[in-house]
Amino acid sequence: MLLTRLFSQAKRTLQPPQRDKVLEGFEYSPLPLYLKLAFEEARRWRSGDVPCDLEKDIPGLIQGLFERLSRPANHGRLLVSASLGFLAAAKNGLTEDELIDLLSEDTWVLEDFRRRFPKSPKTDRLPVVIWSRLFYDLENYLSERGADGTSLLAFFHRQFSEAVAKAYLDEATELRHHHALAKYFAQQQLQFDSAGKRILNLRRLSELPYQLRKARMPDELENTLCDLSFIEAKCAAGLVDDLLVDYDAALESGVLREDQRTRLGDFSRFVRGQSHLLATHPGLTFQQALNEPDSTAPAQTARDLADRETRPRFRWVPQQVPVESAKGKPASLGRPIVACCCSPDGHTTRREGRTAASSCGMPRPAQAWALLIFIGSGS
């Protein structure tokens, strides 16, 4: 019944011998996926064609598809392997524009295109029509999924993805694809301006750490995940949990040197500890990093950027001043401190008037005051 429905939807019919060939293979692999793949092959048969033998298992059918698509009379091995390889190497899938860009930047693909179509006009990009022809033959094996704020192409089934990896992604080729993807997304901006509005580049935020890790590019991976602007943008995009996954995966990957692991570990603890705040107020990323302990990587990075950061921020300045030696000791120790006036240097405190002094109190166990100074906008 399923086979009849598939052919009915395609407005095709099978002759009895052809139908028998499909069902013969289905007896060996009685799975819906096998029937789907066998249907895609059988729908190409014309009524008078003598049906060819179909492979008896799913990997065999998929491999047969790859071989047919890779024939010189169809699309050629290089275009097929590169297209499927890039899709398999992507974290969430690729848009059609991204895939065409990547294929156009692949020297081997362009050289193969020029060799196969010597009379085609000279161009530095793969013509869209070349990809469109391949997409037409692959369309039924792909799915469109919504992710990263757009529609992405991905494989329709896990076993198809595994077959692609086995056929086209040996270790060297996989590394090359991840390197190309990392380079492609690293060149993009973190955000775009449209009609005065900031639009975050969700594709770069999502794919770049994954591709850098898979491409085994430790320096670039460290720089990305220790970039406060990248952290702020990813938190602003609602991807705090994904960012924490990036840190965990990077620390467990074995790609980083020990000093890089230490620095990345500091940033991982910072984002994890501040995740509740950064998820709702990502603009405070720099301020919170600046207020981390001075010996940590986030604080050191923030201090290096302090002169260029123009947004107002609060700065915690711990003061190890014993309560007994503080001038103008608060009178009522049973009540919380509600006011404190700070001098610009962060070292001197004074009370403002009798009312303020009488309204302040210091809990008895406390041995030091922490002064919060507002920096920026002349305050």
Beta bridge partners of 278: none
What gap in Å lies between CA 82 and CA 134, rounded to an integer?
12
Confidence band of 268 (pLDDT split at 50, 70, 90): very high
Place of tokens 């008895």: 364
Give the tokens for residue 223: 């720089």
Span of 37-46, 56-65, 111-120, 270-279 with lowest mean pLDDT: 37-46
pLDDT value at residue 194: 76
Which residues, in sequence order, are CB contacts of 261 under 8 Å at separation 6+?
Answer: 251
Which letter does DSSP use for residue 332 in this model? -
Beta bridge partners of 193: 198
Span of 144-148, 238-242, 315-319 with lowest mean pLDDT: 315-319
pLDDT: which is higher, 21 or 218 = 218
pLDDT value at residue 90: 96
Residue 356 has pLDDT above 90, yes or no: no
Confidence band of 179 (pLDDT split at 50, 70, 90): very high
With contact defined as beta carbons under 8 Å apart, do 346 and 371 qualify? yes
C-beta atoms surrounding 319 within 10 Å: 14
Burial of 253 (0-12, 13-18, 19+ CB in 10 A): middle
Burial of 324 (0-12, 13-18, 19+ CB in 10 A): exposed
Span of 7-11, 123-127, 158-162 with lowest mean pLDDT: 7-11
The 10 Å CB-count burial string (b at 16+, else e) for 4-28 is: eebbeeeeeebeeebbebbeebbee
**Residue spans of alpha helices (H) in 91-227:** 96-105, 107-116, 128-138, 158-168, 171-186, 202-214, 218-225
| Range 46-75 average pLDDT | 84
Burial of 62 (0-12, 13-18, 19+ CB in 10 A): buried
- CA nearest neighbour of 87 among 31, 145, 17: 145
> How many helices (H) and strands (E) in the chain?
18, 8
Instruction: Tell me the three state secondary structure of residue 343.
Output: coil
With contact defined as beta carbons under 8 Å apart, do 172 and 92 qualify? no
C-beta atoms surrounding 107 within 10 Å: 7
Confidence band of 379 (pLDDT split at 50, 70, 90): very low
Q: What is the mean pLDDT of the chain?
A: 83
Beta bridge partners of 317: 371
pLDDT: which is higher, 241 or 335 = 241
- CA angle, corner 262, sides to 257 and 266, nearest 5? 145
What gap in Å lies between CA 6 and CA 213, rounded to an integer?
42
pLDDT value at residue 142: 94
pLDDT value at residue 29: 79
Instruction: Tell me the three state secondary structure of residue 372.
Output: strand
> Which residue type is seen at 155?
F
**Residue spans of alpha helices (H) in 237-281:** 240-252, 258-278
pLDDT value at residue 198: 84
Whole-model pTM?
0.80
Q: Give the Å distances, CA to CA, from 7 to 1, 11, 14, 268.
A: 10, 6, 8, 53
Confidence band of 28 (pLDDT split at 50, 70, 90): confident
Confidence band of 38 (pLDDT split at 50, 70, 90): confident
C-beta atoms surrounding 195 within 10 Å: 5
Confidence band of 364 (pLDDT split at 50, 70, 90): very low
With contact defined as beta carbons under 8 Å apart, do 351 and 341 qualify? yes
